[in-house]
Amino acid sequence: MRKTHGILIHMKKLLCIFAHPDDESFGPGGTLALWAKQGVDIYLLCATKGELGNNGTGRKTEEIREEELHAAAKILGIGKVEFLGYFDGKICNHEVVRLQKELMKQINKIKPDALMTFDLNGASGHIDHVSVASATTYAFHKTSSPKELYYFTYLKSYTDQVADYFIHFPEGKKSEAVDEIVNIEDVWEKKLAAMHAHQSQIQDVKQILKILNNLPKEECFLVRRK
């Protein structure tokens, strides 16, 4: 394990692959803001538009959440966002195979130095997260340009405080079990702003911050290298 305030100097282009609008901010938003600040060119592929998320506005949920993701991405310094057209809560079975092929195509086009996605347990256990992590792992091994794969993961100190989640929330890692811990103190306000850009999910924002505000300003990753 190592703690870092910076990046691996050879990383110039990072491709993030997540399932829903807000995954990028609620998860590794601080790291993305930090790396963007340090000159990394960041792309984001979002599998769905979060159609099943909260929405009390009367507008279509997917329209709101698409707008929110673009706003959050601008705050974090993400250069390009693309949606892949999958439906929230339904990325499984044959959809995973289709996603694998789509990700390989995107990776070969973008040619990133590294990929970022969820821990293989989905970090929160959400089936879409698990499927996206699995497909990303497959694409990582089947393409040549990315040399590193960053799995965003939670520490046990976080997951021990999660209560009444709608599905099983996997137990987090002990700090000695992760490969990279990124100090995000310098970009904490950007992470907060990006989280709050997802106003339709404000109840989730509040619940997450109840935990994060009492923990070190850090984000953790498992790292796989070729």
One-character DSSP codes across 107-124: HHHH--SEEEEE-TT-SS
Strands (E), the chain: 2-4, 13-18, 41-48, 80-86, 114-118, 148-153, 180-183, 218-225
Mean pLDDT, each 10-residue run in order, the chain (226 residues): 55 96 98 95 97 81 96 98 96 94 98 98 95 98 97 97 86 94 96 97 94 96 96
Per-residue confidence (pLDDT) for residue 163, from 0 to 100: 85
Tokens 């195509």, residue located: 105
Whether 13 contacts 112, CB under 8 Å: yes
Beta partners for residue 14, in sequence order: 42, 114
Which 3-state string (H, E, C) describes 126-148? CHHHHHHHHHHHHHHHHCCCCCE
Residue for token pair 């290298």: 225
Query: Sheet harboring 2-4: ordered strands across?
Result: 2-4, 180-183, 218-225, 148-153, 114-118, 13-18, 41-48, 80-86
Instruction: Report the pLDDT value the prediction gives residue 1, as an integer from 0 to 100.
Output: 54
- Which of 134, 128, 96 lies closest to 115, judged by CA? 134
Structure tokens that stand for 80 in this block: 């390009």
**Would you call 123 exposed, middle or buried from its count of C-beta atoms within 10 A (0-12, 13-18, 19+)?**
buried
Question: For residue 4, what pLDDT is reported?
Answer: 60
Domain 10-225 class in CATH:
alpha beta
Q: Are strands 114-118 and 218-225 parallel, antiparallel or unpaired?
A: unpaired
pTM, two decimals, is: 0.95
Return the CA Rg of the chain. Answer: 16
- pLDDT at residue 53 in the model: 82
67-104 b/e with 16+ CB inside 10 Å = b?
ebbebbbebbbbeebebbebebeebeeebbeebbebbb
